[in-house]
Structure 1
Amino acid sequence: MTLTSIQWGLISAIVLLALYRLRHLFIRGPLHNIAGPPSASLFTGNLKQLFDSNGWAFHRSLLEQYGSVARVTDFLGAPRLFVSDPLALYHIVIKDLPVYDEFPHHYKLCYLLFGDGLFAAEGEEHRKQRKMLNPVFSAKHLREIVPIFLDVTYELRAVISNKIKSGVEEIDMLDWMKRTALELIGRAGLGHSFDVMQDGSIDEYGSSIKSLFPILYDFAMFLAAIPHLMKIGSPSFRRFVVESSPSRGIRQIKEKVDVMEKTSKHIYQQKLAALHQGDEVLAKQIGGGKDIMSLLLKENLMASEEDRLSVSQVLGQMSTLIFAAMDTTSSALSRILCILATNPEAQNKLRKEVREAHALAEFSYDTLDKLPYLEAICRETLRLHPPNAMIHRRSTQDSVLPLSMPVRGRDGSTITKIPVPGGTPVTVSLLSLNRNKVLWGDDAYEWKPERWLKPLPAAITDSKIPGVYSNIMTFWGGPRGCIGFKFSLLEMKVVLAVLVESFRFELTQDIAWDMGIITVPRPASAPADNKSPFLPMKVSLAEDEDKCIV
């Protein structure tokens, strides 16, 4: 069979593209001297190891063998930087922020899923939205939503008490932490109840939010194609294509996004109508007018024309807030309960602190803020076990990353700065920074809340880590740092204070934690083909020492 000129052209194009992608195997680029592990695959490099759900040992080896910067192999031999150096992070997160941006598909995907909110905003638009949202996360407003947090958590306490009284021996605390985190952000964030605080109950919006990420994760390898697909045809044509897709998963994603958008519009209209009718009407709604969306609408109506957010931008904040708050907070709470279950002395010490404080005053923002051991437990767990182990960026142009902790090159030389070519993928390891022994000492891998009850090592305080919270990067940093980290911390403190005061937590079996977009627990004995997130715990009444109100 004779090949046509078109066929020869296609073959030539494919060969040239493959050679271009494989050029890193033959040409020594600027990153060649950065040490790192050998590539595990010609096609996927080290990516399977980097993104392995059980990749903890590989991540630890990158830090311990190569230091604060390592070179790992991306697709077809391309280099990827694995970074945890504080000075390099300062440049990535703050000083050279535009140079180290999200991957191109990130903003488009966030726009499609969550609307025109913070996740989808770039540059000046992001600064504008953030400026409008900052006041609603102030300490003044957080003080006012503690009663909302307590209402939800007392409902959780009642549910667990009823399960104990009915003889339930094992409770999936991950499920209840997810339900609680969703209801907390629902009532305190949107002024909306998802009706999840009873067995089996959940509304359509809440169901869509809980199930979207697992479905979306199945299509992770195709996400980079989204910016290109959005250029094809009109929005109505693209919607028709999605609705006609033979893939059930794609159709489900579209249906769930539609539910979220429809419900957000409904909540927005209700809030706006109540706002126009006055504070008395607003106070009768869920959240009592103290929820984030009610406050945002007030701020937005009073803002100047140039600062005011559009309706689509206000709507976009709703799903953005939910997704930013639910899985990360539930993961962190589950981890703390798991650790307390394996450290009964720490659990008893926390219970004593909480009960003594509650005997003197009702739980409030100020009461919880003055519990040093509770604060230390939150900080230490978020340091050692960040819900997000890593965050990914891509250099948009040639740049130079300086290092505060020099690394040794493959040729034995000392490297103090790294020339980074434009287009280089950069993985920032929050896990490695938070566990680096050079910074935290020889006990960096140990859970020791007491380290926060005394001055931190000078290596930490002098390193100027660019995180928004407590010398760690768990909540990221800079202009794109987590805007709601204080909200999340307050949620965690309320839930922990109420639960630990009332209940004793024990593990019924060994627990493993899977590294994904968000780290999640499962029984270590779970079959390889059944790794559904699950945290079985024995929960009992903690009636010793002091009388406990349940």
Structure 2
Amino acid sequence: MFSYFLSFSPWSVLGDILVCSTAFTIASFWPLLRKYLHRSPLRKVAGPPRESFLKGNLGQLFSPNGWDFHRNMARTFGGAVKIYGLCGDEQLYVSDPKALYHIVLRDQDVFEETEYFIKSNLVCFGAGMLSVVGEQHRKQRKMMNPVFNINHIRSLTPIFYRITNDLREVILSKFTGAEPGASVEIEMMHWMKRTALEYIGQGGLGYSFGAIGDEATSEYSNSVKNFTTVIFRLSILRQFVPFLSKIGPSWFRRAVVCVTPVKRVQRLREICDVMYKTASTIFNEKKERLALGDEAVKLQVGEGRDVMSILMKENMKADIKDRLPDNELLGQMSTLIFAAQDTTSTALSRILYVLAENPGAQARLREEVTEARILAKGDVAYDELHALPFLDAVVRETLRLFPPVYMIHRTTQRDVTLPLSTPVLAADGTTELSSISLLRNTNVIIAIEAANRRMDVWGSDAGEWKPERWAKLKEHERSETEPKLPGVFMNTMTFLGGGRSCIGFKFALLEIKVVLSILLENFQFDLCPDKKYAWKLGGITTPGIEDDPVPKLPMRVTRVKL
């Protein structure tokens, strides 16, 4: 009897808890412990000194004003640079073309999304393409690919023009009462965000957020506009999400988040709740319409041509083994809204900003789009719009030099050797490395902007904005000996490459060109002389004014078509 009670004594229970806790800790931190137990091969790679043992270089890497740190790394150390993460964790910052080819194409199964990226996206968006890996991701991608083909994107052109014409009318309303030829200060980032949201709403989801209109507002648009800024400021905390996600059931983790006394955490929770609520409402409405047949689907915004309507119909026709469950379809909706809004609005804002800095290029582009619209007697058709040479060059060059997303993270799934097209000087300062060995669970950073500015790819003027270069760089004219970047978009890494490249980049390009064709025909854009502009680093780069944390792009806008 005594032995029976002894087996259930508090000491026995405490011992079990200690054993389980120790096992959990070792399992969670084993990737980091393994690097300490083995001599890291990255010790041979040169890189900047860390700021502290705890944060390493992460404070510099994720600083809103970290442009010099990023650009100096590539200039100083070359295409492969060692940086430090948390607690001495060694990582590799890569812009070398051959190494990138192996990361995003040849060995893409080895270089997978980081666990913190996947886990935190799963919490924020649900089980969409940004939140899954391996076979689950391939299955989703296979189902999504046909939805983003050129023929389907072409069919969205009238919807895009309708939205942008509404935007033009809103901007024109700002000139009410102004003298002819007068300029009006307008916060263009605000309107680019609203326009991008309505594009993905109508073209992506078959739903209007009511984002275009002088006083237009919605719970969703008010919540989601700060998502990128909030989550970027939690970048270091996101590193711990993989460990935290293993603690207890989901309801317990939710309860912990709700009582966490951190304003940014609570703001992110509120945003994610609104995103889920909105996506669920749209999804359930679409399911009901699909059940009623095609005529009911065509009555919705977008007339059934939107991405999600096509995807849901294709999913219903697919074999049972290939179908996506409802939770994954729902995850695609939040993923689409996030991925398509901030990146495209930032790209449009940057193009307007660069054109304001280059008034000659702006005038030339205005002349081109105006002539095209006169010839078309209105909105320019899809193929003719993409055939406009200077418009195409301006978009390509701006996206090359100023990619909205400037770096992406990957983690090695096994030990691997990464070859380099150009050797880098080793940490000892004397030898050169033509390849770099990486242990399993090593974090690798794809330096998108650094890769897009490589002089061995683009020439000595790689850091300059020169849209004219695209007239000389037709794909068939490029030398076979020149290094190539493995991206899906014109030898750049802006939309990445391989199986995790941006699936909606053609959607984004059409959106950008439609907006520019209409706005530049009607308005001239200049920078405000009394403002000090500053582009800030984040998960996505954003425009702003010095000493003002709120993203914005105030511009002086003048009517040119009266």
Give your verdict on TM over 0.5. yes
Instruction: Report the alpha carbon displacement of residue 246 of structure 1 after superposing the two structures with TM.
Output: 3.9
DSSP 3-state at the match of 1:512: coil
Structure 2: tracts of 5 or more residues without a match = 1-14, 16-20
Which residue is equivalent to 2:4? none
Structure 1: tracts of 5 or more residues without a match = 1-5
What is the distance in 2 between the residues matched to 1:21 and 1:301?
A: 44
Q: 1:473 aligns with which of 476, 484, 493?
A: 493
What is the distance in 2 between the residues matched to 1:39 and 1:482?
A: 32
Instruction: Report the alpha carbon displacement of residue 26 of structure 1 after superposing the two structures with TM.
Output: 12
Within the alignment, does 1:275 sit opposite 2:286 as a pair? no
What is the distance in 1 between the residues matched to 2:78 and 2:58?
A: 19
Which residue is equivalent to 2:363? 348
What is the distance in 2 between the residues matched to 1:254 and 1:533?
A: 21
Aligned residues: 527
Within the alignment, does 1:503 sit opposite 2:523 as a pair? yes
Which residue is equivalent to 2:132? 121
What is the distance in 2 between the residues matched to 1:24 and 1:129?
A: 34
What is the distance in 1 between the residues matched to 2:481 and 2:217?
A: 45
Q: Which moved more, 1:509-518 or 1:325-334?
A: 509-518
Amino acid at match of 1:186: G
Which residue is equivalent to 2:3? none
Which residue is equivalent to 1:180? 195
Which residue is equivalent to 1:513? 535
Instruction: Report the alpha carbon displacement of residue 169 of structure 1 after superposing the two structures with TM.
Output: 2.5
Q: 1:369 aligns with which of 373, 386, 389?
A: 386
C-alpha distance 43-22 of structure 1, shift in aligned 2 (>3 A) = farther
What is the distance in 2 between the residues matched to 1:327 and 1:460?
A: 36
Amino acid at match of 1:339: V
Instruction: Report the TM-score when normalising by structure 1.
Output: 0.90
Post-superposition CA distance 1:302-338 (Å, at most 9, x none) = 1111111111111111000011101110111000000
DSSP 3-state at the match of 1:129: helix
Equivalent positions of 1:79-98 (< 5 A) are: 79-98=90-109
8 Å CA contact 1:440–1:460 kept in 2: the answer is: no
What is the distance in 1 between the residues matched to 2:306 and 2:217?
A: 20
What is the distance in 1 between the residues matched to 2:90 and 2:271?
A: 37
Instruction: Report the alpha carbon displacement of residue 293 of structure 1 after superposing the two structures with TM.
Output: 1.0
What is the distance in 1 between the residues matched to 2:34 and 2:315?
A: 52
8 Å CA contact 2:405–2:539 kept in 1: the answer is: yes
What is the distance in 2 between the residues matched to 1:223 and 1:338?
A: 32
Q: Which moved more, 1:488-497 or 1:222-231?
A: 222-231
What is the distance in 2 between the residues matched to 1:248 and 1:188?
A: 34
Q: 2:70 aligns with which of 40, 56, 59?
A: 59
Post-superposition CA distance 1:98-134 (Å, at most 9, x none) = 2222222222211111111111121111111111111
8 Å CA contact 2:81–2:94 kept in 1: the answer is: yes
Instruction: Report the alpha carbon displacement of residue 512 of structure 1 after superposing the two structures with TM.
Output: 1.5
Which residue is equivalent to 2:144? 133
C-alpha distance 516-256 of structure 1, shift in aligned 2 (>3 A) = closer
DSSP 3-state at the match of 1:81: strand
What is the distance in 2 between the residues matched to 1:316 and 1:209?
A: 16
Instruction: Report the alpha carbon displacement of residue 88 of structure 1 after superposing the two structures with TM.
Output: 0.5
Q: Which moved more, 1:458-467 or 1:373-382?
A: 458-467
Instruction: Report the alpha carbon displacement of residue 221 of structure 1 after superposing the two structures with TM.
Output: 2.3
8 Å CA contact 1:460–1:471 kept in 2: the answer is: no
What is the distance in 1 between the residues matched to 2:105 and 2:156?
A: 31
DSSP 3-state at the match of 2:463: coil
8 Å CA contact 2:411–2:442 kept in 1: the answer is: yes
**Alpha-carbon RMSD:** 2.6
8 Å CA contact 1:389–1:431 kept in 2: the answer is: yes
8 Å CA contact 1:179–1:197 kept in 2: the answer is: yes
Which residue is equivalent to 1:305? 320
Instruction: Report the TM-score when normalising by structure 2.
Output: 0.88
What is the distance in 2 between the residues matched to 1:110 and 1:479?
A: 18
Within the alignment, does 1:388 sit opposite 2:409 as a pair? no
Q: 2:396 aligns with which of 376, 379, 385?
A: 379
Q: 1:143 aligns with which of 144, 154, 173?
A: 154
Instruction: Report the alpha carbon displacement of residue 61 of structure 1 after superposing the two structures with TM.
Output: 1.5
What is the distance in 1 between the residues matched to 2:518 and 2:481?
A: 33
Instruction: Report the alpha carbon displacement of residue 272 of structure 1 after superposing the two structures with TM.
Output: 2.1
8 Å CA contact 2:202–2:306 kept in 1: the answer is: yes
Amino acid at match of 1:238: R
What is the distance in 2 between the residues matched to 1:177 and 1:24?
A: 45
Post-superposition CA distance 1:402-443 (Å, at most 9, x none) = 011112223422221111122322111111110011211111
Amino acid at match of 2:405: N
